[in-house]
Structure 1
Amino acid sequence: MASFSPFRWPRIAVFSVLLVALLAGVDCIDIFHEWIVTADTSAIYPNTSLDQWDVGIHHDNDVVHVNVFNNMDEPLLFTWNGIQQRLNSWQDGVSGTNCPIEPGKNWTYVFQTKDQIGSFTYFPSLNFHKAAGGVGPIRVNNRNVILVPFPKPEAEFDLLIGDWISDDYRHIRQVLQEEWVSHVYPGVILMNGKGPYGSQYSTSYESFTVTKGKTYRFRISNVGTVFSFNFRIQKHQMVLVETEGSYTDQIVLDSLDVHVGQSYSVLVTANQDEADYYMVATPKLFSIDNHDSLVAKGILRYENSVLPVQGPVPDGPDPFDIDFSINQAKSIRWNMSAGAARPNPQGTFNVTNVTLSQTFILHGSREVINGVPSYVVNNVSYLTPSTPLKLADYYRNGSGVYQLDAFPVQSPNDIASYGVSVVTGVHKG
């Protein structure tokens, strides 16, 4: 079974209608969903909530239809982060693929969660809209015929954690184009759109209730725009089991680094005394001294607990310890013996003896182009063309929209510039 779970987040509001159609004799269902998207451009605080969005998906072969009505005054697109658009990426929801949904218009996304399981997210992909919310979790679960490499948990919880800039996203977008601006730092880190436990500015905080002796699955995603974070639960260890559609070798962790856009599943066993315990996320590569709002705090509450949280929040690794992050990332390995979306193990398709046919060397940095701070790859900052690249390729072979192989693939250009990055790929089927 799988589902797009509802998530509450400020500023961008969605009103939805859901219809589900079963396909007779077929191991999948068609899901029809309607979103009406609006935006509030007034000053919104972290404890303001988003109307719920929910799209139901039952398993990894479901076909999803999401009809998006754009009632904002700006073009809009949604991207389904990590969902493979198998053999066809026309529904990916980014500027290089899809035409924007213009104000007052609608567009229906149709895609299949084919041969995928795991934890993913969705978010608006244009015009810095992600900083205004509109994000949510995606669950794609296994079909009944596929074994899962761990016992079924008592329950599953979506935990979307992200930094939040309290200023209006349009103003932030404008400020970031000024040459004198190097960064705009968020003022708070939220858990499922809720402020830190104990903060005078939080009218609500995130909490999950568990039963002693039971094991729970937490699907943790970083839906922010700036900070990576380290997540931990007071007096509890986590067993990492999955990341973005792949089962992992199961490793026991005291804390977990989650970078922007990443999603992980961990198992947590309620094996402590019946009380309340901190769930904490703190930013990486940033000093939290005098920035208590950047310590996201929620509560893991045991059923029948009468004891509030005790003591300080649990310590994590040094936020500037790069080796910790690198070594933890290296320790996360594919489970080569477990089946994921298919009965055969994930490691069935052996690629260890593949002969390399192409090598791309990509160097990321930050430059100023025409007075505007820009992120670049090989000194090229992506320029969104008026015609999406896939449409230009399909109908005009790119003529007038991009020049094939103009993008440097071995080393940076001498001078930073805007450009459309399309290179020739050698496909070996």
Structure 2
Amino acid sequence: MQCFMKWLTVAVAIIFRMAEVRCIDIFHEWIVTSENTVVHPASNIQPVIKINGMFPGPLINSTTNDVIHVNVFNNLDEPLLFTWNGIQQRLNSWQDGVSGTNCPIEPGKNWTYAFQTKDQIGTYSYFPSINFQKAAGGFGPIRVNNRNVILVPFPKPEAEFDLLIGDWMDNSFKDVRTMLQDELSHDVYPKVFLMNGKAPYGSPDSTSYESFTVSKGKTYRLRISNVGTLFSFNFRIQKHQMVLVETEGSYTNQITLDSLDVHVGQSYSVLVTANQDESDYYMVATPKLFNTTDSQSNGSSLVGKGILHYENSMSMANGPIPEGPDPFDIDFSIDQARSIRWNMTAGAARPNPQGTFNVTNITLTQTFVLHGSKAIINGVPVYTVNNVSYLTPTTPLKLADQFTNGSGVYQLDVFPVRSVKDGAAYGVFVVTGVHKGWIEIVFKNDLDDMDSWHLDGFGFYVVGFGEGEWTPASRSTYNLHDPVVRSTVQVYPGRWTAVYAFLDNPGMWNLRSQNLFHWYMGQELYIRVHDADPNPAKERPPPENVLLCGIFDEAIAPVASALAPEPGW
């Protein structure tokens, strides 16, 4: 009996280990095109980026530790990159899909991404990362499901729905790119909210709108993502409450909400129970910090509207749309953000509870204080970080780091990480992140509009929100007990947000504003998390299909030295 028990213990351990590491390869082939079409009423015909003819693009549905292969055929008339917003690319920033890590896929060419959803669960999105292309579409949903051996901390829903909500402009994304270079252009902002690429319910001349069919008494999971360019939004469902359960890879303490603020780049999962009379009900998204014209009326394009449809409903949605909080009530939004806490007892990607990884007693290795603001350089409006506007080089930083230690492409550790430079300037700057150190990043928003920030490769422990200037004494207000971990965090106008991150993922990682206007016009930098040990377990080597460009393009390599950018100051 004793031998049998020993054998059983070993067998169970082996089975559990096999379950822990089991993964599959998932293959996608994407044909990316730009089609001239009208996506909402009163719009000019404009190019819309579609994937396999779909807008939004197809779902990437995976499980923890799966390996995703996406073969992208670029049939646009300009270069293209995709980034996997929130997928941490463990040990592999080569697949990150931003200008600092990848050469773009040229028109008429294809390239295959291969990345792993290593030790992750949750709700994410993907989108084009260069040339302001996200404003034309090309975005889509990503799900990373729990492995069977990990319990989900809520009953299995009847079904799951992906709900991608975002603002949309009347102008072509190419026209907007040009307009943004004009200091006198002030009327460049979105004009409508789309739900899964569809016009608001009730819009004039609208031929389609988003609708989810539910059965009375059943509970459903909505995976909501803000895939817009500029506006945060408040989301609610007529006569229904939502139970918040997850955000960008973290299970949250379950709180019941009448409405939910979702900022650019963020994703949430909520549970909705169909507990009302069988009818149709409005799903509504309205912008934050923006005065819509008669925002509560059915005729406003900046009120995104879809329908929650009960399967036996014989009644159309009626009555006024559900009223949300005052869009200028920042205190409401901050109070809600502070109420979103980590579920410390739930497992996620691993069987041990999330609370195992707490920040109560960590030792900080670095502190960055980063001010987001706007400036004029040589007559061109730009957005800056500490008064520095990022200037994208023709050679990806990761390539330069791999083959020339960055020489001639970027400057290392010159960027002012805790002070604002006198006089705005362009620069190609990279800062060092201490490998396996804890970094504190304080984002200060010196602008009048909402901002949100994202660091590829890592999750943010959201420890604090505050007014005015941040000082070390502000740490006394931090929540170090159960801060939620997420990939994108909002920063309110004139205020600061503090986050911690554990830099255990070597690579060249993009730290950026998720506000597409801010990002495109220079509000980003890169953090180089490096370990000199060449052991592949520390960081993977370049993939066999790595693209070359810039100073590593064979055609221009002999003149590489002449193409090196001038320092920003």
- In the superposition, the TM-score normalised over structure 1's length comes to 0.91
**In the aligned structure 2, how far is the partner of 1:103 from the partner of 1:246?**
37
Partner residue in 2 for 1:6: none
Shift in Å, 1:28:
1.4
**In the aligned structure 2, how far is the partner of 1:56 from the partner of 1:398?**
34
Instruction: Choose the corresponding residue for 1:398, options 406, 421, 431.
Output: 406
Instruction: Choose the corresponding residue for 1:38, options 33, 42, 46.
Output: 33
User: Is the contact between residue 44 and residue 166 of structure 1 (CA under 8 Å) also seen in structure 2?
Assistant: no
Shift in Å, 1:403:
1.2
Q: Which has the larger radius of gyration?
A: 2
**In the aligned structure 1, how far is the partner of 2:272 from the partner of 2:168?**
27
Report sequence identity in percent: 76
Question: Considering only aligned residues, what root-mean-square deviation do their CA atoms show, in Å?
Answer: 1.8
Partner residue in 2 for 1:317: 325
Whether 2:163 is the aligned partner of 1:155: answer no
**Mean Cα deviation higher: 283-292 or 385-394:** 283-292
**In the aligned structure 1, how far is the partner of 2:20 from the partner of 2:221?**
31
Instruction: Choose the corresponding residue for 2:22, options 27, 43, 57.
Output: 27
**In the aligned structure 1, how far is the partner of 2:341 from the partner of 2:290?**
28
User: Is the contact between residue 213 and residue 308 of structure 2 (CA under 8 Å) also seen in structure 1?
Assistant: yes
Shift in Å, 1:201:
3.3
Q: Secondary structure at the match of 1:289?
A: coil
Deviations 1:234-266 (A, max 9, x none): 010000000001100101000000000000000
Partner residue in 1 for 2:372: 364
Change in 2 beyond 3 A, CA 1:400/1:388: same
Deviations 1:291-316 (A, max 9, x none): 61000111111121111112100000
Partner residue in 1 for 2:354: 346
**In the aligned structure 2, how far is the partner of 1:251 from the partner of 1:214?**
19
Whether 2:206 is the aligned partner of 1:202: answer yes
Whether 2:384 is the aligned partner of 1:376: answer yes
**In the aligned structure 2, how far is the partner of 1:190 from the partner of 1:25?**
39
**In the aligned structure 2, how far is the partner of 1:87 from the partner of 1:105?**
26
Partner residue in 2 for 1:293: 301
Q: Secondary structure at the match of 2:178?
A: helix
Instruction: Choose the corresponding residue for 1:86, options 90, 112, 115.
Output: 90
Whether 2:174 is the aligned partner of 1:170: answer yes
- AA aligned to 1:138 is I
**In the aligned structure 2, how far is the partner of 1:24 from the partner of 1:318?**
48
The equivalences for 1:49-64 within 5 A come to: 50=50, 51-52=53-54, 53-54=57-58, 56-64=60-68
- AA aligned to 1:393 is D
Deviations 1:179-207 (A, max 9, x none): 11245111110000111111113211111
Deviations 1:4-50 (A, max 9, x none): xxxxxxxxxxxxxxxxxxx999721112221121213x463327985
**In the aligned structure 2, how far is the partner of 1:309 from the partner of 1:158?**
21
Structure with the higher fraction of residues in helix conformation: 2
Partner residue in 1 for 2:136: 132
Instruction: Choose the corresponding residue for 1:247, options 226, 238, 251.
Output: 251
User: Is the contact between residue 60 and residue 141 of structure 2 (CA under 8 Å) also seen in structure 1?
Assistant: no
Change in 2 beyond 3 A, CA 1:144/1:411: same
User: Is the contact between residue 59 and residue 141 of structure 2 (CA under 8 Å) also seen in structure 1?
Assistant: no
Deviations 1:390-429 (A, max 9, x none): 1111111110011111111111111111112311222236
Deviations 1:97-121 (A, max 9, x none): 1111111211110000111111000
- AA aligned to 1:31 is I
Instruction: Choose the corresponding residue for 1:95, options 94, 99, 107.
Output: 99
- AA aligned to 2:222 is F
User: Is the contact between residue 275 and residue 305 of structure 1 (CA under 8 Å) also seen in structure 2?
Assistant: yes
Whether 2:428 is the aligned partner of 1:420: answer yes
**In the aligned structure 2, how far is the partner of 1:382 from the partner of 1:46?**
34
Q: Secondary structure at the match of 1:288?
A: coil
- AA aligned to 2:136 is A
**In the aligned structure 1, how far is the partner of 2:74 from the partner of 2:62?**
27
User: Is the contact between residue 40 and residue 198 of structure 2 (CA under 8 Å) also seen in structure 1?
Assistant: yes
Q: Secondary structure at the match of 2:366?
A: coil
Shift in Å, 1:57:
3.6
**In the aligned structure 2, how far is the partner of 1:44 from the partner of 1:211?**
33
How many residue pairs get aligned? The number is 406
**Mean Cα deviation higher: 226-235 or 417-426:** 417-426
**In the aligned structure 2, how far is the partner of 1:187 from the partner of 1:193?**
14
Q: Secondary structure at the match of 2:308?
A: strand
User: Is the contact between residue 88 and residue 117 of structure 2 (CA under 8 Å) also seen in structure 1?
Assistant: yes
User: Is the contact between residue 57 and residue 64 of structure 1 (CA under 8 Å) also seen in structure 2?
Assistant: no
User: Which ranges of structure 1 fall in alignment gaps of 5 or more residues?
Assistant: 1-22
User: Is the contact between residue 280 and residue 313 of structure 2 (CA under 8 Å) also seen in structure 1?
Assistant: yes
- AA aligned to 1:39 is S
- AA aligned to 2:185 is V
- AA aligned to 1:116 is Q
Shift in Å, 1:349:
2.3
User: Which ranges of structure 2 fall in alignment gaps of 5 or more residues?
Assistant: 1-17, 437-503, 505-569
User: Is the contact between residue 58 and residue 141 of structure 2 (CA under 8 Å) also seen in structure 1?
Assistant: no
Partner residue in 1 for 2:550: none
**In the aligned structure 2, how far is the partner of 1:25 from the partner of 1:339?**
13
**In the aligned structure 1, how far is the partner of 2:433 from the partner of 2:314?**
61
**In the aligned structure 2, how far is the partner of 1:178 from the partner of 1:171?**
11
Deviations 1:63-118 (A, max 9, x none): 11111111111110000000011122110100011111111211110000111111
**In the aligned structure 2, how far is the partner of 1:207 from the partner of 1:134?**
21
The equivalences for 1:168-317 within 5 A come to: 168-182=172-186, 184-290=188-294, 292-317=300-325
User: Is the contact between residue 19 and residue 149 of structure 2 (CA under 8 Å) also seen in structure 1?
Assistant: no
**In the aligned structure 2, how far is the partner of 1:397 from the partner of 1:88?**
17
User: Is the contact between residue 118 and residue 245 of structure 1 (CA under 8 Å) also seen in structure 2?
Assistant: yes
Partner residue in 2 for 1:11: none
User: Is the contact between residue 31 and residue 64 of structure 1 (CA under 8 Å) also seen in structure 2?
Assistant: yes
**In the aligned structure 2, how far is the partner of 1:91 from the partner of 1:306?**
49
